[in-house]
Structures are given as structure tokens and as C-alpha cells.
Amino acid sequence: MADIQRFAAFTDDPKGGNPAGVVLDAGGLSDEQMLAIAAEVGYSETAFRITAEGDRHRVRYFSPLAEVPFCGHATVATAVALGPGEHVFQTNAGDVPVRVDDAGRATLTSVAAKVADLGEADLGALLSALRWNDFDLDESLPPKVAYAGAHHPILAAARRSRLAELDYDVPALKSLMESRGWTTVQLVFRAADDTFDVRNPFPVGGVYEDPATGAAAAAFGGYLREMWIAPEDATLLLRQGDDMGRPSRITVELVPGEPGVRVSGNAVPINHS
């Protein structure tokens, strides 16, 4: 029987952040068993460590409905469960180095970030599923699809209340995301030059919304760099989960010459009876 640990990531409060399941002894589990465990745990993702050689760990991530190539918050949770030091996670998206300091704060470095255009037809379908329109968009942050281990369309809201009013067509958005290979939708509002409020619908994982999304945070950092919206050496704060009552704080760091994006946050155990 697998030993399932539970952590809240990107917070220092078990009642905040994004809960993640962590299974460190998953070597004998089949794909079907891992999916079943993820569904039973019920969090947006559960991480499974398949093998370990020194500081290298083969890790896979399952939502309640499907495997995902990379998950930031479950990476942070798993790294904190492993303890302080330097770790390398071998994910379906590539190698992800993770450093955990003595205070239990983890910093991952994503695979190389990429940005692609979001076609007009896809943008129209996305806006329709979200029940948004063109007037809801912040023209200074153009819609794109960003990648740093998983694909996320990025839409920027012109007003903070547009995020607070999130109410999307679940079947329509799920179908669109599945057909395009999108993991979550990164909805953002620029509160300051270095601070963004974000929300992440995740219907393809069987979850209405993620309270903290490290993979999307990395992708968004790559987007800001690629679009020359943030400097090459920026440190950014993403505030997520507030509208859900699970406040999360994600630090995104851009390092000159580094193709990946660094994402940092705390993780704390969740007591489960």
C-alpha cells in the first residue's frame, strides 16, 4: 500500500495554498493505480516518485482524470517532503532541478520556456467558454500560449473584478483545452509592475480551479520575458487562490542567460485523518 503524504504548496498555512499528494515509494504502482490514487486523494495533482538514484528522482504527476507532464506545486511539495538539498526531478517534460533550503522553501528551475501565438479562432472560443469578451482584455498584455513544461494560454484582464467574477462554461472549456493540449488557463491581472493576481481554471484535471499553479507561473514568467514586459533579471510576485479562500504566494525569478524560469514557494504538511 502506497504511503500518501499531503502538503499545501506555495503557503506556510495548511489551510492556504494548493494541496498536493506526494507518494515517495511509487515504484511498484501501475499507471492505473497511480490514477486511482490521484482520484481518491482528490487534489488537482498527486506526485509519484518512481525511482531515485542519488539526487535524481523520476517523478510523474496525475490529476484525478489524467497524467500531466509537469506540475509545479506538486514538485514543490515533493521536494520539501524529500528535505533540504539539491534535487533533480526527471519529469515527462524534462529535467527540473529543485533546491530546498533549511527553512523548507523550494525553488524549481523549469525547462526552457517558449511562447506561441494564440490564433483568432482559439481566442474566440476561449473567450466564449470563459464568458468574456474583447473589452475584458488588457491590451498591454496580448493573449499568447506559453510553455515551461506544460502549455497554458494566457489572458490578461483589464480589471481585477473580472477575475473575481470567474464563472466559465465547464464542458466547453474542458473540450477546447483537451483538443489543444492546454493544461490550465492562466488568467492574470497586473496589480503592479512586479505583482500579478492570477487564477487558473483546470477542468481537464477534474478540478474547477487551481489555488496555486507553479507550471503556469513558470510559463507566465517566460511570457513576460519573451514579450519584453519584464526585464531579464526580474523577480515577480504572483498572488493566487485569494478568490477561493486559499491564499497562495508564488515567486517567479528570471535569470539572464537561463532559458528556464525559477519558481519558489513554501510547502507545509496537511494533517489528514
pLDDT tens, position by position, 183-205: 999 999 999 999 999 999 999 99
Dihedral of CA 92/170/78/151: which sign?
positive
Catalytic option among 40, 45, 209, 232: 45
Which one-letter amino acid corresponds to residue 194?
D
pLDDT at residue number 113: 98
Which one-letter amino acid corresponds to residue 255?
V
- In 24-104, beta strands by DSSP E: 45-53, 56-62, 67-68, 85-91, 94-100
pLDDT at residue number 3: 93
pLDDT at residue number 2: 85
pLDDT at residue number 220: 98
Note the pTM of the prediction, 2 decimals.
0.95
Q: How far apart are CA 217 and CA 263, in angstroms?
A: 7
Whether the per-residue pLDDT at 273 is higher than 80: the answer is no
- Give the contacts of 176 (CB within 8 A, at least 6 positions apart): 122, 125, 126, 129, 182
pLDDT at residue number 16: 96
To the query of whether residue 32 is one of the catalytic residues in this protein, the response is no
Whether the per-residue pLDDT at 254 is higher than 60: the answer is yes
Q: Same topology for domains 4-97 and 114-267, yes or no?
A: yes
pLDDT interval class at 272 (50, 70, 90): low
Whether the per-residue pLDDT at 215 is higher than 90: the answer is yes
Q: How far apart are CA 106 and CA 93, in angstroms?
A: 19
CATH class of residue range 4-97: alpha beta
Q: Which three cell numbers stand for residue 11?
A: 503557503
pLDDT at residue number 95: 97
Q: How far apart are CA 265 and CA 96, in angstroms?
A: 15
- Give the contacts of 96 (CB within 8 A, at least 6 positions apart): 70, 75, 88, 89, 108, 109, 110, 111, 149
Q: pLDDT averaged over the chain?
A: 96
Secondary structure of residue 221 in the 3-state scheme? helix
pLDDT at residue number 45: 95
pLDDT tens, position by position, 98-143: 999 999 999 999 999 999 999 999 999 999 999 999 999 999 999 9
- Averaged over 225-229, what is the pLDDT? 97
State the CATH architecture for 114-267. Roll (3.10)
pLDDT at residue number 47: 98
Phi, psi of 227 (to 5 degrees): -90, 5
pLDDT tens, position by position, 30-84: 999 999 999 999 999 999 999 999 999 999 999 999 999 999 999 999 999 999 9
Phi, psi of 230 (to 5 degrees): -120, 150
Please report, for the chain, the start and end positions of each structural domain, with discontinuous segments joined by +.
4-97, 114-267
pLDDT at residue number 1: 65
Helix (H) or strand (E) holding 193: none
Q: Give percent of the chain with pLDDT exceeding 90.
A: 97
